[in-house]
Amino acid sequence: MQTQPLPGFRDFYPAEFAFRSYLFETWRQVCRRYGFEEFDGPPLEPLELYTAKSGDEIVGQLYHFTDKGGRDVSLRPELTPTLARMVAARAGGMKKPIRWFSIGQMFRYERQQRGRLREFFQLNCDLIGERGPLADAELIALAVDLMRAFGLTAKDVRVRISDRRILLPLLEATGVPDNWRALQLAAIDRLEKSGDVKTTKWILEEKAADLTDEQIQGTIAVGRIRGLEAVERACSNVPGALDGLEKLRSVHSALESMGLADFMDVDLGIVRGLDYYTGMVFELFDAARSLRAIAGGGRYDELLNLLGGTDLPAVGFALGDVVLGELLKERGLFPAGEGAIDVFIAGVTPEDQPHVLRLAHELRAAGVRVEFALREDGLGKQLKLADTRQARLAVVIGPDDRARGEVQLKDLREKRQEPVQRDAVVALVAGRVGR
């Protein structure tokens, strides 16, 4: 029998599961501070839900099959189509704007590489029903505060912001025909990784030989625009970009007011490869750019109508656990492993066992994590097991202490011991371990 998981999948032993739980709980705490409510949907959806959004070419990246009812279905590779379906079902009865988040397991049959697995957990945050730039700023602020909650600073992570309402008019101004717009966006998307020369070669190889060198270099120049002032200069002679510029300024100003300016980089090289984005787009990277994007998203005002028939504007982002986990481990920003228990109860003699069991039950009822020996062992072996479990405290029950109505309470971290009245031990222990 094979003892390893499938390629691209993971086992979560207790230490790895504890780290995953730490990520999820931190995500939940920050999202709730922003007034977001948690939701979820099924891990299995109709295949057409994904092909309607991304086209038939996405099928090669999916875990899909025909179920016993003859339906073409797929494990979810993302949550946005499910979100659209759920909002459409109850849109009329929900107060706007809708603030939802979800933590779910996703599946994509893709080539594995650093930061990319075939199975991963993803935080999705979406704000639905508001078109204004403050909604955009709110989502970016949430993404930044998720990083700050883990101890990451502006020296560790950067948010790179762009806007399709600026990018598309600037690309049109290069003189490239509309039918090549998708190619221009794809070229900009690969610029940083491939560089100018390789990107130019790629454009020509994509049957775009009828584009002039000036048009190609103009496309690359747009993708190299960095900083708000440079964007403002580029837009000055392109009236069609001014509305997008005003929206970008508003987002930038709002984030400055929130005290998050240090995290921001305006960067027209950020495209986001999906066609459904209609406005602001952003990606969050480690500052050294040694990893894949940690998070990414933007405004998609037409997608809910396409997928669910509900005409509501929306902005959202997704944040995966794989890249974030790598970054936190690189920085040493993950909690020390917590012991499996708070208290170990040890009996000195076999006659003490009923008293051990009673106290264990009382402490557990008070919310304390408790363990005791399941077989007769000497006191030394029992306390050694307590150390192995990383217990903070040990309670020792013996005949002499019982005769006095006491137990011995040992602090295993500070290496000290004190007698405690038996009828006071539950409240004392629960207080010390914070339960």
> What CATH number does the domain containing 374 carry?
3.40.50.800
Domain presence at residue 144: yes
Q: Mind giving me the DSSP string for 76-90? A: -S-SHHHHHHHHHHH
Are 351 and 233 within one domain?
no
Cα–Cα distance between 247 and 239 in angstroms, integer? 14
Residues 6+ apart with CB under 8 A from 352: 397, 398, 399, 402
Which of 331, 359, 379 marks a domain boundary?
Answer: 331
| Pairing state between β 416-421 and 406-411 | antiparallel
| pLDDT score at 86 | 93
Are 375 and 230 contained in the same domain?
no
Compute the distance between CA of residue 25 and CA of residue 16 in angstroms, rounded to an integer.
Answer: 14
* Residue 180 DSSP label: G
Same domain for 90 and 237, yes or no, is yes
Question: Is residue 4 in some structural domain?
Answer: no
Domain around 108: 14-331
**Quick check: is 186 in a domain?**
yes
User: What is d(CA 103, CA 98) in angstroms, rounded to the nearest whole number?
Assistant: 17
Do 348 and 327 share a structural domain? no
pLDDT for 336 equals 73
Say if residues 106 and 10 touch (Cβ distance below 8 Å): no
| Domain edge (last residue) among 301, 331, 361 | 331
β-sheet bridge partners, residue 409: 395, 418
Say if 96 falls within a structural domain.
yes
In a domain, residue 137? The reply is: yes
Are 268 and 169 within one domain?
yes
424 and 282 in one domain? Answer: no
Last residue of a domain, one of 331, 352, 370: 331
Q: Give the model's pLDDT for residue 203.
A: 85
Residue 337 lies inside a defined structural domain of this protein: no
pLDDT in tens, the chain (435 residues): 788 999 999 999 998 999 999 999 999 999 999 999 999 999 999 999 888 877 777 899 999 999 999 999 999 999 999 999 999 899 888 999 999 999 999 999 988 888 889 999 999 999 999 999 999 999 999 999 999 999 999 999 999 999 999 999 999 999 999 888 988 999 999 998 899 999 988 888 876 667 888 999 999 999 999 999 999 999 998 999 999 999 999 999 999 999 999 999 999 999 987 678 999 999 999 999 999 999 999 999 998 888 878 899 999 999 999 999 999 999 999 877 678 899 999 999 999 999 999 999 999 999 999 999 999 999 999 999 999 999 999 999 999 999 999 999 999 999 999 999 999 999 999 999 987
Examine residue 97 and say whether the peptide bond preceding it is cis (omega within 30 degrees of 0).
yes
273 close to 15: Cβ distance less than 8 angstroms: no
Residue 147's SS3 state is: helix
CA dist., res. 435 & res. 421, Å (int): 19
- Asked whether residue 347 falls in the same domain as residue 414, the answer is yes
- For residue 291, count other CB atoms closer than 10 A to its CB: 16
The domain total for the chain is: 2
